[in-house]
Amino acid sequence: MNFDAIKSECLAANLSLPQSGLVDLTFGNVSVADPERRVFAIKPSGVAYEKLTVDDIVVLDYEGNVLEGDLRPSSDMATHRCLLLNFHGIRSVVHTHSRAAVAFAQAGLDLPCLGTTHADYFHGHVPVTRAMTPAEIAGDYEWETGQVIVERFANIHPLAIPAVLVRNHGPFTWGPSSNKALETALALEIIADMVIKTLTINPQAISTPTHLLDKHFSRKHGPNAYYGQV
C-alpha cells in the first residue's frame, strides 16, 4: 500500500507551521488522512521542524497501528485519531499552542464571535471543553482529550465550527484538507488576538447579531455561498 500522497501533504503542512508563526519550539502537529483507506499520516514526536523529512512521517491505521515509519508518532496522535473517527467530512487535524488561542483555553472561556472576521470562519462561538477529570488524565490521556472534544460537539456541527479550545491546553482545528485546517488555525489565532484587543478597549463588547453572523458565514459556506471564484 502506497502512502506517498498523504505523507507528502503531511510533511508540507507540518513544515508550514513554524513559517505561519503558530508554533514555538515543537509545540504543534498536523495529521492528514485517507478516510477511504482508513489511514492517516502524522508528524513524529519531538522532531524539530527543520530536520523533518518525508521518511520521518508516521502512517497509522484508524485503530492506531503503525503501518509505516520508524519513529514514534506525535504524542497527540490518539487525539487526532479520535477526531478523524468521529468528525465525518474531515481529513486533516491541526494542533498548535498558538498564544492568543491558548490564552482563551487557559482562561476556560469560549472564543466569542464579536465580528464578521470570526463569522467568515465559524458559525458561532468557538467552544472550550470542560476540564478533564483526574481519571481521564491518568488513563489514556490523549484519547480522552479527543473524547472530551467530541463530547463538547454533541450539539455542534464540526464543519460549522471547525475548531475547539481544549481547557488548560490549546486549540485543535480540522478541515477537508491540510491547507484548509491550517488556514482555520491561523484564522483562529488572528481572531483570538482581535478579541483580546477588543475586550481590552471595551469589556462590554457584545456578540455579533445572529442575522449578521448567518449572512457572513453563508457567504463563504454551504450551497448558497458566493464568496470567491467558481
Pairing mode of beta strands 92-96, 66-68: unpaired
- The cell for 32 is 492528514
47 class by beta-carbon count within 10 Å (0-12 exposed, 13-18 middle, 19+ buried): middle
Contact indicator for 111, 188 with CB cutoff of 8 Å? yes
Catalytic choice (34, 120, 193, 214): 120
Q: In degrees, to the nearest 5, what angle opens at C-alpha 111 toward C-alphas 86 and 91?
A: 30
Our answer to whether residue 49 is catalytic in this structure is no
- CA gyration radius, the chain: 17
Q: What's phi and psi for 226, nearest 5 deg?
A: -135, 5
Round to whole Å and give the CA distance between 183 and 127: 18
Our answer to whether residue 24 is catalytic in this structure is no
Round to whole Å and give the CA distance between 145 and 136: 8
Round to whole Å and give the CA distance between 49 and 96: 13
Nearest to 34 by CA among 57, 76, 2: 2
State the catalytic residues. 120, 227
